Structure 1
Amino acid sequence: MKKNISIKSKIILLSSLSLLATICIFSGVSFFQSHEVSRITTTASRDIIFKTVDKRLSAQASYNASQIQQLFAKKLTLLATLTDQISILNSAYAKQGVNERIIRQQINSSLALVFNRDATLDNIWLIMNENLVGQDSEFVDDLSHGSNSTGKLSTTWIREAGIAKNLAVSNELILTTELSANGVPYNFFFTCPNKTKSSCISEPFIDNSTGVPVLTATISEPVIIGGAVVGVVGTDISLNSLQQIAMDIKKDIYDGAGELSVLSGAGTLAAFTRDSSLLGMQVDKDLGAAGQQLWSQIVAGVEQLVRLEDSIRVLAPVSVKAGMKDWWVVLDVPKSVIEADAASLQTLQGTLQRSATINTSIIALIAAVIGMLLMWFTASNLVKPINNVAAMLKEIASGDGDLTKRITYGYQDELGNLVFWFNSLLDKLQPTLQKIKGSITETRATANQSLQIAQQTSVGMQTQLSDIDQVVTASNEMSATAQDVAANAARAAEAAQGVDRSAKQGLISIDDSMREVEELSESVTAAMLDIQTLAANSDEIGHVLEVIRGVAEQTNLLALNAAIEAARAGESGRGFAVVADEVRNLAMRTQNSVEQIRVVIERLLKGTSDAVEMMQTSHQKALVSSQQMKGTVESFSRISSAVSIISEMNIQIAAAAEQQSAVAEEVNRNITNVRAVTDSLSARAEDAAQMSKQLNILADSQFNLAEQFKT
């Protein structure tokens, strides 16, 4: 009997009962759960708010720390690049011998170039060791070469009214060891890089050099060459921008309710939104107990987030550079601000809960009435099984398309008749789709194979094109090389011919010289004979002088005897005595003259002997020179023959190189034609690959369409 109950009655009865039961259960559970959800949500929302605040504040502090880190990192990178340039210039001076004036001027120009390119730089300076680039004494007060009053390479660039100006850095500033308010020497900017051999950042200080107090920090970088510090380059950073950044961030933290501080590595306030007049102060000395508490937390290395009695504090380190003390960003947010948000959320949740309870009750009643009406209306229209069959067809058309499924229905009514014919239709469609899927699978395999072949062909063509390009390049280079060889061989042939002409001319000159040397040898021989004859004649003159001297001595004796006899004769012999005395005087004068002539003759004999020896030596050297000239003539003859052979070979090489160049150009033209053909084939291969890809895509599309139906 139950099988005879109509579908309409079943649907109306069961759906009405189900709808009423569902509404009652849903309403009861909803009322109970709303209270529990409200309680749990209030507690969880408070925790979530605080966790969200923690994450937000931590992220905000980390972001602010990264902003400050980037400010320092840009300057450190700029200084590192500048030290590399200075090292290269110093190497050019030390190793390549470039003039020290040029090096100093280029170093100073490099500073000026960097300074003018970066408008954010307030200044930039360089201090090098003494006598590093030339002698400092040669550059005293030479500002154009970056030198100070002692000639040391110590220069700085500043801005006055927006215009770059070059000044010298005095030695007094470099040597000042007086302690600043932060407890570090004033020349920390110079001594720190020299000691640590790494970058240094000074503690913030108030700079009054321009007449306006500016909170400033100095960054300095050592110039290291060969492991030793040879100088320091640096720049001053105005920290006023940090205070402005901090004030802008404060506006975004709970509408300005939070406070932000930036501390240096030694605890100096670089930014302080609570009171800007305290900038440059020490947080642990000038901010009382609160400052000491903050600094103790930083020194102790507490967690990044600290919950105080009346506020939440976030500490974010600013890692300036490895090896340096971290700077710190500190965010303080009052708890009252955060708890106000939680209280507002709790009040809003209570209001929403009450509103939801009322709305749920009303909606449940309305839904019950509307549901019953809809069930009656639906049951009245579902007297035919068309909706079930339509749902099955929809599943086949837009779902998985499972053609293996069949509709099972055990009643012999209109729906049973519809199910029977629907299943018969599926019995015909299933084998047909199986055949279509098999054909598509084969088509896709063929398309994939064609695609692979086309791709391999395209890759091969590209490889061949690359090889042909290399061959063309090599052929061009070979042609150019052959032309160079031909030109060089032609020049070598001309040079060899010139050498041959010079060798022949030298051979003629040597022949003339050899004849002149032989004539000189003969002349020396004749002169030597004449000098020997002169020596013999000089000896004979000596003998004659000996005879004359003997005669003079005898005459002197005779005159003396005559004088004696005249004296004996008395007055009668006076005239004879006078004559005898004159004769004796003449004899003495003759004897003296003979002695003088003898001395002259002896010197003449000695000079003649020396001249004979020199003539003999010159004669031997002339003979040796004559023999050497003959050997030189033979050498020049061989050189002339060799140069002639070289000239002929160079001419042959030039001809062969020109022929090789012509062949290379012909090969190059042929390869160019081959490349053009290969380009065409490559384009066809790419077209084939594209067609194979398109075919593969179509096959995949058809396969996917067929795969929608499970057979």
Structure 2
Amino acid sequence: MKFKSKIVIASSMCVIGAVACLSTYQYFSISDYVQKSVSENISLALDESKLAVESELSKNSVLVASISDLIELSPQDKSHVSTILDTPTFKKSFIVVGLGYESDGSLVENDPSWLPDSSYDSKTRPWYETAKSTGTLNVTEPYFDDITNEMVVSLAAPIKNSGQFVGSLFADVSLKELATKINKIKLVGDGHSFVISPNGTFVAHPNSQYNGKKLLDIFPDLVNGDAMQLANVEGKQQIVKMMPAGTQGWKVGVMVSNEAAYSELSAINKANILFGLLAIILSVFVVSMVTIRLLRPLESLNKAINDVATGEGDLTQRLSTDTDQEFSELAAGFNTFIASLQSMVQQLQVIGGDIKNNNGMISNGAGASSSAMGKQMEQLEMLATAMHEMSVTASDVANSAQSASDSASVADNATVEGDEIVGNTQRSITQLADRISEAVVKVSELESASDNIENILRVISEIAEQTNLLALNAAIEAARAGESGRGFAVVADEVRNLASRTQQSTSEIQEMITQLQTGASGVTKVMQESASMASVAVEESSKASDALNRIKDSIGVISEMNMQIATAAQEQSHVADEINVNTLQIKDLSTEVSTLANGAVSAVDEQQQRIEQQDSILGRFVV
């Protein structure tokens, strides 16, 4: 970015900041002024509305009090009351004035067009009951008169005679005049005033359709309070403020469109934005023009410097100092710099020639060194390869010997383990032979016991056979005895059955004993054969143990020889590795020397090129 552009941007930012601050200050100042103006306008309208309501109520209250005082001079004299009520002032001030009596509920009023029917009882009317119960002047809630269809209120006052209540006085007042006064109050835009009764009913409103209706029924977003509020009324934001008026609980209110109230502020803000933009544009234009004018000598100086820089290095040129003081000092400094540069270029041209001559000799020496180092590198490469192969061979021999030694050690350990296993096997077979011999004895004892059981069963079988014969004889004798021997015959028959079953069971046991004897004989034979085989196995295990011991001794000799071979091979490999390491170090040093030599050659060549470039560049300068 050009310096000129930076100056313009910085100046513009300062102007924009100043205009923004001024506009912001002006906005808040005007906003505060407008808010105060709106508040004052609303307060004045409220005060005027309050004065109108209080004046209307006070005027009518005074008249009603006057009528009450006059009637109380002779309240029971209806002609006196009628005369007072027909006074022109009272008839003009009120729609109708009347007095209801406590004694019979009759009514005396001053409206000839209104004749209450015979069922009319003034004591049942709200105004009568209110005046009687409170004992003071009261104002009823507004209502529509049936005859005039106007919004009216009734002022009611008690009438007393020597301190005794005799009736209630009422006076109907039209609110049309009050509504006219309220509607004439001027506010911002389409703002207006209104009056509501203690229960929130509209008494006076520019829209007559609202009169007699509840405030919160029409405007549910409003709050029936004294604080200023912003509410959505009929789709528009309205500023609403209410305050008490008089002693009867009435309130006056003001409703102003928020948009209309602050329309002046909006217009001023738009004008401020427009003028601010114009001021910024004009300021930027002026700053740009002034900057261009002030920096014109710098552009001339810049052009002269470019001419010197691109004019084939003519260091004999000088800048003019005939300009403003700042730029004149800059031109003088530049001329001094060019003069110094001219002197240095002349010296560099001389030094460059000397360096060029010396560099040729250095280049030749470096080339010869690089060639010799190349041949040395080839010889070292061959030596390193041979030493590496010898080291690898020695290492392989050592590894093989070590592997053979390890294998011999493993075989030796295996023979030891095999010898232990054969010994364990021999002992196990010996124990097995002993157990088999014991088993042969036990089986022989089992065979003898089986023979004894067989003899016992033979005796039991003979006894069962004799019992069977005796039972048969007893049955025969019982049959001969007839009825007297029938019971004995039954017992004999049961004994014979038991003897038969015993004989049958002994036969089955005899068969099982025979099978057991046969199996015992077979087991005895097998056990004897197993004992013989176990003896043979013990002898063979002894032979195997002797063979393993001989193998163990041979493996020990082989392992010792392998250890000697491995030790010798490791020493040879270690010596070869040391020689190989030394060879590689010599090779690395030679490589570094060769690299340095090549680098020196390259550096000399590059230096030669730089010197030639330097000569070319310095040759462009006109000194």
With the length of structure 1 as denominator, give the TM-score of the two structures. Answer: 0.34
**Which protein has the larger Cα radius of gyration, Structure 1 or Structure 2?**
2
Q: TM-score, normalised by structure 2?
A: 0.38
